A and B are shown apart, each in its own frame.
Chain A
Amino acid sequence: MSADAASLPDPLACWFARRGWQPHPHQWAMLETAAQGRSALLTAPTGGGKTLAGFLPTLAELIAQPREGLHTLYIAPLKALTQDIHRNLTDPVAEMDAPVALETRTGDTPQHKRQRQRRQPPNILLTTPESLALMLSYPDAGEVFGGLRTVVIDELHALAGTKRGDLLALDLARLDRLAPGVRRVGLSATVARPDELMAWLSATGTDDGRVARIDGGNGPEPGLEILSTREYLPWAGHMAVHALGEVYERIKAADTALVFVNTRAQAEIVFQELWRLNEDALPIALHHGSLAIEQRRKVEAAMARGALRGVVATSSLDLGIDWGAIDLVVQIGAPKGVSRLLQRVGRANHRLDAPSRALLVPANRFEVLECHAAVHAVRQGTLDGEPLKPGGLDVLCQHILGMACAGPVEPDELYHEVRHAQPYRGLARDDFDDCFAFADHGGYALKGYRRYRRLQHDEQDRYRVTSIPDAQRYRMNVGTIVEAPTLAVQLRKGRTLGEVEEFFAQHLTPGDTFVFGGEMLRFERIVGLTAEVTRAKGADAPKVPAYIGGKLPLSTHLAERVRGILEDRLAWRELPEPVAQWLGIQGWRSAVPGREGLLVETFPRNEVHYLVAYCFEGRNAHQTLGMLLTRRMERMGLQPLGFVGTDYVLGVWSVKPPGTAEIETLFERDILGDDLEEWMAESSMLRRTFRNVGLVAGLIDRQVPGREKSGKQVTVSSELIYDTLRKHDPGHVLLRATRQEAAAGLTDVARLDQMLARVQAKIRVHHLERISPLAVPVLLEIGREQVHGEAEEALLAESADDLIAEAAAPELDQASLPLD
């Protein structure tokens, strides 16, 4: 097919012509690759006509050759996105008078409609990875998908490398068997490693050159501004309350502003504070994942109508849905990653030709550095490029069971099939066999247990699920999204406002007040799975919501750039005065950390000895390192008392001061050996990870037919199972999956290992007489993480002032010492 209008079927060409539009070059390219039967990866910024590009070939084919049955499957990470695309496609299809049947299918689709869809599938089905997995678990999957020509995967960058992506990759491998040669089209934001996504899309699971790469360009560079506040720039904290007056002015000056925050706690505080400032009664709303779904829908609808001037949102609004008129994006707190920032900034002016406008609002001094690093990265067009992780074994366990629900499974064949999925390209046969054994009978060391097998096998050594309850169980628990156990928040004798993590609710005592959904609530009691609340009266200050939700660690790429800024004194010129001064004083009081090596400071304070390491490896890695260092310090007789890790720095305190030689020993790479094993096994982090792995693999249920199991019960039993399994079956596949997941995620061991390798023999130890300016923020975090309740705010402020005075120790000192 050549790239001219003649190659579009008439109705489609006329539709473009009526609008006075021309297809974008990348849209032509998509038509061309489709004509060649090739799969394609289209990378383009938000608003680049990506989705239409994905569907153009399908529309062209269906118009040229109308047919029955499923032609194209569209898969998106969000239900809302499938509905959005459905709306956006329905009108053009009607205007073209095209013979195209178009439907969505998600968890919300009524049962009768789902059944009908399996008997008579539409031409285009818009769905989610979980719904696809479910459809593939039925014996009629061959008939439903046999004629499938194209799979379009939207927001591929948000799926690849996650467990949902793993499941989807396995399902694509199955689709390739049901409909050989089916084309895969990936739509993605611009990414650092497109070759990885091409491998992900390829039917062989490798970058084999068969997937066409179509570049939709980068769009105009977004206009990024970092707020230099008129107010006093805080040393620590994440709420940026100091700057909200200025943020409010910007919202007032804009038509519609999206205010992104990093955590739900931030969302509540920022929303509350903005309303306190909202003298003009601007319609400002709140959107986060814990709010009741009806409430979120209301906000989204108001947004779409253009009835709002501002929305405070968490990552619940990160993806795809087109809001139209947003002309300002505000990022409160540091962005944590470049790709994430671009995604968020792209929400403003969802159009290719107009640059987005965004304001970054750092909440503390380190965040100022991080914001500057992010802006440099955007200007230079570099992105976070964490490599894709190998597929999770728990997801594989689930998939095996699903395939055995659909029909007889021959292990050799299935092994061959799953290795065509990129995340499982390097899957060892032993691992596969263990997963298979798990799906079958649990795969425990105890052989006698095999009498409880779930899979029946026939003479040809083929296995299948024959029990209806087992199949039902699988289908009710399909998917890899594991939420923390939550409790509903309900007004006494009133409506449900949303939900909070059980963990958070447990810390509340009757009478405690907290802010939720923009309201001040008084906690009354827990009844079953509900936290009963009333509206708090009077103007008492709320207890700060401690529920975290969505704390992402600093990306490696951004961390490198922050170290780069620190090292490059010329770059300090563009920093706000207080920050440049802060670094300057740090320079003569101690040293400024740089790109190379690792700066470690020690100093006494209040009869305790502090060790502060400037690692810049993100909160998770620092927490892990803190656990390991304190264990080792314990053995050295240093009597460690505690530690705290931020995204930038690790601080440890002990009764005895560590010397230089001891510090070098502390940071040796072998710290990731036995100590790590031992700690991982005992840590509650592993228990939580095990719970998630157990839920995904099907060891424990989220839902049992006929009865809902509360999150609480799951927590208890998964812990008991973990303890028993670890003691009696330490090599079990689910324990291996747990360690694998923890190493990459919560503990970030991989990142820690890279850092330790990098800094060997390059550790600069500075023994100081008192705290250095750069160490102040991490010491302030100590107060934050340990003290609770109301009186503590005062305590905190008091100690904060103390520390800062001590560290900055006025100009007098500065003058008496040569500045370089």
Chain B
Amino acid sequence: MPPVHAQDAPASPAVIRLNGVELHPDPAGVLVWPARRTLVVADLHLEKGSACTRRGAGTLPPHDSTATLESLAAALDRHRPETVICLGDSFHDPDAAERLDDADAERLRSLTARAHWVWIAGNHDPDPTPAFGGTVRRELHEGGLVFRHIARPDAHPAGEVSGHYHPKAKVRLRGRTVRRPCFVHDGRRLVLPAFGAYTGGLNVHAPAFREVFTGGFHAHVLGPATVYAFPGTRLSP
């Protein structure tokens, strides 16, 4: 069967302009800031599998951290950034770092060695460990952008880049419904999709997003090789 074509799929990399800064949403779910050779990623949720298992929700396959770190390594290979910013909830819970097995711990160390690495604190990991390398920050202000875990509707919106909500878009195409993770933005704020292998999502029309994006918004929906841009009004609740 032919793939589903989104008509407005761009030929060259998609561009989001945020507070005047040019950013590239990557189909893998990472954000690239070409001018600063920076790669931004949100919500890795490392060791979510073992956390659920420990809580007694069945013995989930433990390979999620491996899967997440391998995908991240592939993104680094493609973009070769000088700086990597993890927007919080990198570790699923405060003990997650200790549960990483040796191979995954090594994978993580070799990743942080490849770039200037910043861990932003999240609600799942209020105190992310620097044990694997990198530096820890609450927030990061850089070249007209501010990076934090959760969007702050009370703060000045211009140039805010955050994660936390795991945005997902629902698109109807000729009777079939596609649900995919996506980037959401309104030119001032941007929320990244979750990157972790076991992370679910929240529809961009959910009430939680209404506080973040008070006017209209756009979504860049992840595809296998490209991202598809949609105005929020074209997405289903």
Could you list which residues of chain A lie within 8 angstroms of chain B, going by C-beta atoms? 438, 441-442, 444-446, 448-449, 452, 454, 467, 469-470, 473, 506-507, 509, 525, 627, 630, 640-643, 698-701, 704, 713, 716-717, 720-721, 723-725, 727-729, 732, 786, 788
Inter-chain contacts of B236 with A (CB < 8 A): 509
Q: Which residues of A contact B58 (CB under 8 A)?
A: 473, 698-701
Q: B53 and A452: CB pair below 8 A?
A: yes
The answer to whether B53 touches A724 (Cβ under 8 A) is: no
Interface size class of B (residues with CB under 8 A): 20 to 34
Which residues of chain B come closer than 8 Å to A698, judged between CB atoms?
Answer: 58
Select which of B56, B61, B175 is within 8 A of A444 by beta carbon: B61
Confirm or deny: B93 has a beta carbon within 8 angstroms of a beta carbon on chain A. no
List, sorted by A's number, 11 A–B pairs whose CB atoms are closer than 8 Å: A444-B59, A444-B63, A446-B63, A473-B58, A507-B177, A509-B236, A627-B1, A630-B1, A699-B58, A721-B198, A724-B63
Contact A724 B198 (CB under 8 A): yes
Instruction: Contact check, B198 vs A442: say whether CB atoms are below 8 A apart.
Output: no
Asked whether, in the complex, the Cβ of B175 is within 8 Å of the Cβ of A720, the reply is no
- Contact across chains for A473 and B56 when beta carbons are under 8 A apart: yes
B200 to A716, Cβ gap below 8 A?
Answer: yes
Q: Verify A442–B200 contact, CB threshold 8 A.
A: no
| Complex interface bits, B53-92 against A, C-beta within 8 A gives 1, otherwise 0 | 1101111111110110000000000000000000000000
Known: A446-B101, A507-B175, A630-B1. A723 touches B50 (CB 8 A): no
* B residues near A630, Cβ cutoff 8 Å: 1
Chain A CB within 8 A of B201 CB: yes
Knowing A446-B101, A642-B1, say if A699 contacts B201 (CB, 8 Å). Answer: no
Do the beta carbons of B201 and A728 come within 8 Å of each other? Answer: no
Contacts of B60 in A (CB 8 A): 442, 699, 721
A704→B55 CA distance, assembly (Å): 11
Chain B: minimal CB distance from A295 (Å): 29
Is B141 part of the binding interface, using a Cβ–Cβ cutoff of 8 Å? Answer: no
Measured between C-beta atoms, what is the minimum distance from A473 to chain B in Å? 7
Query: Chain A residues near B199 (CB, 8 Å)?
Result: 720
- A-B pairs, top 5 by smallest CB distance, nearest first, are A442-B59, A728-B63, A449-B62, A716-B200, A788-B175
Contact B200–A727 (Cβ < 8 Å) = no
Does B174 interact with chain A (Cβ within 8 Å)? yes
**A728 CB contacts on chain B under 8 angstroms:** 61, 63, 66-67
State whether the Cβ of B182 lies closer than 8 Å to any Cβ in chain A: no
Minimal beta-carbon separation of A613 from chain B (angstroms): 17
Q: Is B200 a contact of A717 with CB atoms below 8 Å?
A: yes
> Which of A442, A444, A449, A704 counts the most B-chain CB atoms under 10 A from its CB?
A449
Contacting A at CB under 8 A, from B9-52, are 49-50
CB-based contact B59/A448 at 8 Å: no
Q: Is the CB of B64 within 8 A of A467?
A: no
Interface presence of B2 (CB below 8 A): yes
How many Å lie between the Cα of A454 and that of B54 in the bound state? Answer: 10
- Does B197 reach chain A (CB closer than 8 Å)? yes
CB neighbours of B66 from chain A (8 A): 728
Give, as a whole number of angstroms, the nearest-CB distance from B235 to chain A. 13
Name the CB-closest residue of A to B67: A724
| A648 to B: closest C-beta gap in Å | 21
- Which residues of B are in contact with A by a Cβ distance under 8 Å? 1-2, 49-50, 53-54, 56-64, 66-67, 101, 170, 174-175, 177, 197-201, 236-237
- B179 → A minimal CB distance (Å): 9
- Do A444 and B62 touch (CB < 8 A)? yes
Question: Could you tell me the distance between the alpha carbons of A442 and B61 in the complex, rounded to whole angstroms?
Answer: 7
Task: Please report the C-alpha to C-alpha distance between residue A441 and residue B62 in the assembled complex, in whole angstroms.
Answer: 11
Q: A449-B50, A720-B197 are in contact. Are A699 and B175 (CB under 8 A)?
A: no
Q: Collect the chain A residues with CB atoms within 8 Å of residue B64's CB.
A: 724
Give the chain B neighbours of A713 by CB distance below 8 A. Answer: 200
Give Cα A469 to B58, complex, Å: 11
From B56, B64, B198, residue with most partner A Cβ within 10 Å:
B56
Which chain B positions have C-beta within 8 A of A442?
A: 53, 59-62
A728 to B61, CA, bound (A): 9
CB distance from B55 to the nearest CB of A (A): 9
B200 nearest CB neighbor, chain A only? A716
- Residue in A closest to B53 when the chains form the complex, CB atoms: A452
Residues of B within 8 A of A444 (CB): 59, 61-63
Q: How far is the CB of A232 from chain B (nearest CB, A)?
A: 29
B59 touches A452 (CB 8 A): yes
Given known contacts A442-B53, A507-B175, A699 and B59 CB-to-CB distance under 8 angstroms: yes
Measured CB to CB, the nearest residue on chain A to B52 is: A717
* Further 19 A-B residue pairs, CB within 8 A, beyond A442-B62, A449-B59, A449-B62: A442-B61, A449-B53, A469-B56, A507-B175, A509-B236, A640-B1, A641-B2, A699-B59, A704-B57, A716-B200, A716-B201, A720-B197, A720-B199, A720-B200, A721-B60, A727-B63, A728-B66, A729-B61, A788-B174
Tell which of B58, B101, B200 has the most Cβ of chain A within 10 Å: B58
Question: Closest residue to B197 on the A side, CB-wise?
Answer: A724
Check A721 against B61 for contact (C-beta < 8 Å): yes
Chain A nearest CB, measured from B119 CB (Å): 23
Q: B59: which A residues are within 8 A, CB to CB?
A: 438, 441-442, 444, 449, 452, 454, 699
Smallest Cβ-Cβ distance to A453: which chain B residue: B59
Contact status B63-A725, CB under 8 Å: yes
- What chain B residues lie within 8 Å of A699 (beta carbons)? 58-60
Tell me which of A448, A701, A786 contacts B57 (CB under 8 A): A701
B129 to chain A, nearest CB (A): 19
With the chains together, A441 CA to B236 CA distance in Å? Answer: 40
Which chain B residues border A716 with CB–CB below 8 Å?
200-201
* Bound CA span A642–B174, Å: 14
CB distance from B168 to the nearest CB of A (A): 9
Given A442-B53, A452-B50, A699-B58, A723 contacting B201 (CB threshold 8 A): no
Most chain B beta-carbon contacts within 10 A, residue among A507, A627, A641, A720: A720
Q: Look across to chain B and name the residue whose beta carbon is closest to the beta carbon of A792.
A: B175
Alpha-carbon distance A732/B60, docked complex (angstroms):
12
Contacts of A509 in B (CB 8 A): 236
A377 CB to closest chain B CB, in angstroms?
Answer: 36
The answer to whether A727 and B62 touch across the interface, beta carbons within 8 angstroms, is no
CA distance A473 to B1 in the complex (A): 41
CA distance A441 to B201 in the complex (A): 28
Query: Residues of A contacting B170 with CB < 8 Å?
Result: 506
In the bound assembly, the distance between CA atoms of A728 and B62 in angstroms comes to 9
Contact A470 B56 (CB under 8 A): yes
> In the assembled complex, how far is the CB of residue B106 from the closest CB belonging to chain A, in whole angstroms?
13
- CA of A469 to CA of B56 in the docked complex: distance in angstroms? 7
Report Cα–Cα, A729/B62, bound state, in Å.
10
A717 to B48, CA, bound (A): 12
Which residue of chain B has its CB nearest to the CB of A448? B101
Give chain B nearest CB distance to A557 CB in angstroms.
Answer: 31
Query: How far does the Cβ of B25 sit from chain A's closest Cβ, in whole Å?
Result: 21
Residues on B with beta carbons closer than 8 Å to the beta carbon of A507: 175, 177
